[in-house]
Amino acid sequence: MRHIDVQKLCDDARFRKFHLLLLLWCALIIIFDGYDLAVVGIALPSIMSDMGIQPTSAGFMVSSALLGMMLGAVFLGTIADRIGRVPAIVICLLLFSIFTAAAGLTRDPVTFGIARFLAGLGIGGVMPNVVAQMTEYSPRRIRSTMVTLMFSGYSVGGMLAALVGKAMIERYGWQSVFIAAGAPALLAPVILKYMPESLAFLVRNNRADSLKNILPRVNPAYVPQQADNFSLSEREAASGSTIARLFADGRGLSTVMLWIAFFMCLFMVYALSSWLTKLMASAGHSLGSALTFVLVLNFGAMIGAIGGGWLADRFNIKYVLIAMYALAAISISLLGVKVPAGVLFLLVGLAGASTIGTQIVTYAFAGQFYPMAIRSTGIGWASGIGRSGAILAPIVIGFLVSRALPLQQNFVAIAIPGVIAMLAVCLIDSRRSRRDAGAAVAPQADPV
């Protein structure tokens, strides 16, 4: 009888067609997710005009999705480790597609807010699941690059929402960009059929036939045999509540520090996403230029995510994150300084790379930090806690803007969380993830 460590087989694999297809599927889901999240900001002026609502009501309409995202990340991230990751991903896809489309059929702020809350459950829930899925199957040597490449679809979705909105809102009304978001729901049966299930879920549920079908496509060095026995490493297979295990084996302080890093990073991301256009307009830039800053911010995010992932695969991901958070604090602080237009665009790009891009690398870090059996739970809780920073940011920065403070002070307030996140990452014991990985044993043959 052979005892096969499934994670080691994935760790040692080379990049193949299997990995490319999984990357494309997960990236496509993230593009849809990014579109659904960004579409409200693109259409909000038209929605406010059509419904005749004030900025305060509009703020609650936007925040309803963020609240849903927080709950979705925690609940649907945790439940995936119990029902299977693919069903959880499909549930999330259906939630954010159907209810974003439903929001386009509403006529009042309350119904719109309810629809966006339900969509937010899916938007927030899908993130920890696709990160865990990509982390689990990626070869170890390119794992961070694979996760950040996948997550760059988030920025693609945001830019797609801007382009679709520009083309459709004036011609067909704001409802059109929401109704268009329902199309991805048609892919749910295809994802259920073709996306591979979580290895940890298959091992725990003794799905040997499924493992014998999947593993040779991941790593052809494995040739299935009738008597193969599949297992997780000793640390992966430990029993107990998945939530309690986030704090087990010396992970307690690191888990809390990771939550703080998520909170602070998402605070910066949503502070910039919500207020960059307004702050730049108040600094004397035209509305067209202010909107261009948003595109530069998202383009910088793509560069930061992919570049950060590339660096994380070649250096210690913890120290890459520390450097990226430091860059965030510096670049955002300088946005309030009067500089030439070219330099300002560069700073906005750097801010995007070191906030949105850094958030994506932080997801990759969380995926590598937690053992396979609790990976979705770990990422889900970190993402869910972080979403409270996303909810708080527009309110806090909005209050500061209402105080008519100097421009520099507003940007310093957005930059301070970067310093806090940097210090939190410094306190994370990244050796924990390496010890867990080291516990894995190579496949070996035992006499029957």
Per-residue CA distances from 281 to 47, 277, 278, 292, 405 (Å): 21, 6, 5, 11, 15
| DSSP code per residue over 102-165 | HHTT--SHHHHHHHHHHHHHHHHHHHHHHHHHHHHHS-GGGHHHHHHHHHTHHHHHHHHHHHHH
Which pLDDT value is given to residue 321?
92
List, for residues 380-414, the tens digit of each pLDDT value. Answer: 788 878 888 888 887 787 777 777 777 778 889 99
pTM above threshold 0.85: no
Q: Where are the domains of the chain?
A: 2-201+241-435
List 4's β-bridge partners, or say none: 230
Tell me whether residue 241 is exposed, middle or buried, using C-beta atoms within 10 angstroms of its C-beta: 0 to 12, 13 to 18, 19 or more: exposed
Token pair for residue 121?
Answer: 């459950």
Q: List phi, psi (to 5°) of 335.
A: -65, -25
SS3 assignment, position 445: strand
List, for residues 151-189, the tens digit of each pLDDT value. Answer: 878 778 877 887 787 778 778 888 888 998 899 999 999
pLDDT at 340 over 70: yes
In angstroms, the CA 226 to CA 208 distance is 10
Band (pLDDT 50/70/90 cuts) for residue 432 is low
Q: Taking phi first (over 0 means left), then psi (-120 to 50 degrees means alpha), and beta for anything else, what does residue 407 get?
A: alpha
pLDDT at 363 over 90: no
List, for residues 182-211, the tens digit of each pLDDT value. Answer: 999 999 999 988 888 888 788 888 888 888
**Which of 75-89, 101-115, 133-147 is the most confident on average?**
101-115
Question: For the CA atoms of 280, 281, 285, 288, what is the dihedral angle to 10 degrees?
Answer: 100
Which pLDDT value is given to residue 59?
65
Which pLDDT value is given to residue 288?
57
pLDDT at 231 over 90: no
Give CATH for domain 2-201+241-435. Answer: 1.20.1250.20
Average pLDDT over residues 242-262: 83
pLDDT at 241 over 70: no
In angstroms, the CA 272 to CA 276 distance is 5
Other Cβ atoms closer than 10 A to 247? 13
Token pair for residue 284?
Answer: 């004397």
List, for residues 264-300, the tens digit of each pLDDT value. Answer: 999 998 888 767 766 776 777 665 565 677 778 888 8
**Which of 329-338, 369-378, 432-441 is the most confident on average?**
329-338
